[in-house]
Each structure stands twice: as structure tokens, then as C-alpha cells.
Amino acid sequence: MGLLNLLLKDPLTFVLLAIPLMYSVVLHELAHGWVAWRMGDPTAKLQGRLSLNPIRHLDPVGTIMLFIFGFGWARPVPVNFNNIRDTKKGLILVSSAGIITNMILAFLAFFLYRLLSPAPGTATATLLYYLAQINIILAAFNLIPIPPLDGSKILMGFLPERWQYALSRIEPYGFFLIIGLLFLGVLNPLIAFFRGIILMIIRILLP
């Protein structure tokens, strides 16, 4: 995403971008917790995770990854799906909430770019460009159906219980699997596919 280049070439814009970028992952997790709470699970609320305070959400490694590679993560919001009456519906809606939040943030960035029409190369243009692109990448990345990413839980919501269990057994190794597949470039076509779908949706909503 060129964020390191941005830091070297325009450190002021990088600093201005840091806060909205940080809140891109914070709001992602907050959305999970809020939807879970609305569906009957108070776990995140009881643990103080329904908060805009970034300290309650940020993961040091995930934050560094976000600023270096353009995608990262916050500490997952705890969700107890046993507290949600319709577990399958809960899996789909709670897991989709973060992705939809990132898509909304990308849409708002594109909308503001169109509304303000900033001159190319200005701080405003650069900030809105990176904010849109990184939120699209965050949404696309999280759609990958490998545990613990949101896409796997959305998929579980459509699978019979035996397949849910089989998929959940991958979760302890999921992080290493994802890192390995990213390193090998195996996930790049899938991320590009999801990114294309997200851009198509935004173009429909913002013709």
C-alpha cells in the first residue's frame, strides 16, 4: 500500500492518517461486540469492549502490521455465541459486522473524495485515498474463510454442525496458516477477488 513510502515522503500526512487508520480496526472490533450485544450476548459489554478507547482494542503486532503492510488487526472482541438464541444467524451477522463497517468507512472516504475534490497529491487527497484502500483491504482480507478470520465464521453460519466443528479445529493453527499462505502469495487472488466485489458494491452505491 506504500505506507512506508508515505512515512518517508510525507510524515505529516502519515501522522494525520494514523488516527483514522487506527480506528478502522477499532471500529471493526467494536461492530462485532455491538451486534453480539444487540443479539443477546453481553460478553463484550461486560468486559468494557464496547468502547471507542483504542487502548481497549489495539493489538501491538496487528497495529504494526497495519501501518507497514496496509492490513492488520485489533484484539478480537469476545463473543459467546451460546448467549445468542439463533447461533447460525449470530455467526453470520456478528462476523459480518466488522467487514460491513470497513466497507462503510471506505464508502465514506470515496464519498468525501468526490465531495471535496481535493487536488491530487494534497494531504486530503492522500489521506482519503489510503483510508479508502486500506479499509477495502481490511474487509477483503477478513472475508477469507480461514479461522479465525470473519469469513470462516460467516461460512460456519451456513454449514451443518459437523462441518462447523471441522472448520473450528483449524483455528489454533489458523494464524500461522494465513501468514504462510500470504508469504507464498496463495491468498492474493482471493483477496483481489473480494476486493473487486467490494469495489463493485461501492461503485453501485456511489455512481
Residue spans of the domains in the chain: they are 3-205
Return the active site residues.
29
pLDDT value for 162: 87
Q: Which residue has better confidence, 201 or 73? A: 201
pLDDT of 1 above 60: no
Q: Fill in the amino acid letter for 131.
A: L
CB atoms within 10 A of CB 64: 11
CA 19, 190, 177, 95 torsion-angle sign: positive
φ/ψ of residue 53, rounded to 5: -70, 110
Task: Tell me the pLDDT tens digit for each residue of 147-202.
Answer: 999 999 999 999 988 888 888 889 889 889 998 998 899 999 999 999 999 999 99
* Residues above pLDDT 70, as percent of the chain: 97
**What pTM does this model have?**
0.91
pLDDT value for 61: 85
